[in-house]
């Protein structure tokens, strides 16, 4: 549990919110819906829960409310957010911002990061997953595990054991992009055994869901088009991630001037910051842990967040 203080704004990051223990994937790392409801009731009682527009007013004025304040954010556009989160927040009259990546909605694709989550949820034996990775590294990259620089991977994590974080690092960013995507797809098919299109329809919101959120005064922001690591792609590719997500939200009429960005994986660089200025983005959220305070409020493209687990 974090220590909360006045004159700070705590931005909270959510991902999976569902009835996990009774689901097909009881080992999925996320927030049980029953605990989510308790958390929201607690936050509503003890914090000033801000809307997107109120938060922007604070950023513009540089005046942080005296009462402890909080902003709720939901990443990745999961159907959980529509089926569980939305009705409860509406009932509680609580605001939030939702950040869906476009590829999942438009192309009925599943993000590699989500494939990895469900691989890990379905198969508890981490050595089995690592052995599959090394098998496909040999088949697809024509390399032995000793040749891919495993020793260079940072295995520090707030929540995962070393074998789990090694699997994530290998499949999320360490292996070359075209090859790791093939490897993730093969392991997902082997372990989860689901077609990507069908799984996408189950996992993510659709256009109608997002439009319904917007009609009910919830805010929608960009989480990129393809959910890439932005610091690992060039300026033109970053611009397409931002521009294409904006254009898509305009097309389905959920875009307004108070539009914000949530960096996929918390990844960005100086080129990103310049592009956000170009597209007049109001603010952007990182995955760095911390509160918005008088010292960092001016860095509105590098705002820190807390994970929901920090408020247990």
Asked if residue 214 and residue 82 are part of one domain, the reply reads yes
Q: What does the pLDDT read at residue 178?
A: 86
| In the chain, beta strands by DSSP E | 9-14, 17-18, 31-32, 48-49, 69-75, 97-99, 219-220, 261-262, 284-285, 306-307
Helix (H, G, I), strand (E, B) or coil at 222: strand
Q: Is the pTM of this model over 0.85?
A: yes
Q: What does the pLDDT read at residue 259?
A: 97
Distance from C-alpha of 177 to C-alpha of 152, rounded to nearest angstrom: 17
Asked if residue 93 and residue 224 are part of one domain, the reply reads yes
Q: Do the domain assignments include residue 106?
A: no
In terms of residue numbers, what domain contains 176?
112-198
| Tens digits of residue pLDDT in 178-200 | 899 999 999 999 999 999 999 99
Asked if residue 143 and residue 24 are part of one domain, the reply reads no
Number of domains in the chain: 2
Asked if residue 282 and residue 142 are part of one domain, the reply reads no
Question: Which of 198, 233, 259 delimits the end of a domain?
Answer: 198
Q: Do the domain assignments include residue 2?
A: no
Q: What does the pLDDT read at residue 312?
A: 61
Least Cα distance to 114 among 81, 90, 78 occurs for 78
Q: Do the domain assignments include residue 246?
A: yes
Q: What does the pLDDT read at residue 156?
A: 87
Asked if residue 95 and residue 209 are part of one domain, the reply reads yes
Asked if residue 216 and residue 72 are part of one domain, the reply reads yes
Asked if residue 211 and residue 73 are part of one domain, the reply reads yes
Q: What does the pLDDT read at residue 95?
A: 97
Q: What does the pLDDT read at residue 1?
A: 54
Asked if residue 232 and residue 187 are part of one domain, the reply reads no
Q: Do the domain assignments include residue 105?
A: no
Asked if residue 302 and residue 211 are part of one domain, the reply reads yes
Asked if residue 215 and residue 82 are part of one domain, the reply reads yes
Q: What does the pLDDT read at residue 2?
A: 58
Q: What does the pLDDT read at residue 145?
A: 83
Weakly modelled stretches of the chain, pLDDT under 50: none
Burial class of residue 213 (count of CB atoms within 10 Å of its CB; 0-12, 13-18, 19+): buried
**Phi/psi at 231 (5° precision):** -70, -15
Number of C-beta neighbours around residue 201 at 10 A: 14
Q: What does the pLDDT read at residue 4?
A: 64
The region, left, alpha or beta by phi > 0 then psi within -120 to 50, assigned to residue 196 is: alpha
């Amino acid at each position: 549990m974090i220590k909360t203080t006045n004159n700070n704004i705590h931005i909270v990051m959510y991902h999976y919110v569902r009835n996990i223990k009774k689901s097909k994937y009881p080992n999925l790392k996320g927030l049980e819906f029953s605990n989510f409801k308790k958390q929201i009731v607690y936050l509503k009682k003890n914090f000033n829960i801000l809307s997107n527009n109120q938060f922007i007013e604070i950023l513009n004025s540089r005046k942080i409310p005296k009462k402890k304040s909080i902003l709720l954010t939901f990443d990745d556009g999961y159907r959980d957010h529509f089926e569980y989160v939305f009705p409860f927040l509406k009932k509680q009259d609580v605001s939030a911002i939702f950040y869906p990546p476009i590829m999942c909605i438009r192309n009925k694709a599943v993000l590699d990061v989500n494939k990895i989550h469900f691989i890990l949820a379905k198969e508890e034996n981490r050595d089995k997953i690592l052995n599959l990775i090394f098998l496909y590294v040999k088949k697809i990259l024509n390399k032995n595990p000793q040749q891919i620089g495993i020793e260079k991977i940072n295995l520090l994590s707030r929540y995962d054991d070393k074998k789990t974080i090694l699997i994530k690092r290998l499949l999320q960013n360490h292996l070359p992009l075209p090859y790791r995507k093939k490897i993730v797809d093969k392991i997902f098919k082997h372990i989860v055994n689901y077609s990507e299109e069908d799984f996408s329809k189950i996992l993510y919101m659709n256009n109608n869901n997002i439009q319904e959120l917007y009609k009910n005064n919830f805010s929608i922001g960009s989480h990129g088009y393809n959910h890439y690591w932005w610091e690992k792609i060039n300026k033109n590719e970053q611009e397409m991630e931002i521009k294409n997500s904006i254009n898509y939200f305009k097309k389905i009429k959920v875009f307004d001037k108070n539009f914000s960005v949530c960096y996929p994986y918390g990844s960005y660089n100086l080129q990103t910051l310049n592009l956000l200025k170009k597209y007049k983005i109001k603010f952007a959220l990182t995955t760095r842990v911390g509160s918005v305070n008088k010292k960092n409020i001016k860095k509105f493209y590098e705002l820190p967040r807390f994970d929901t687990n920090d408020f247990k």
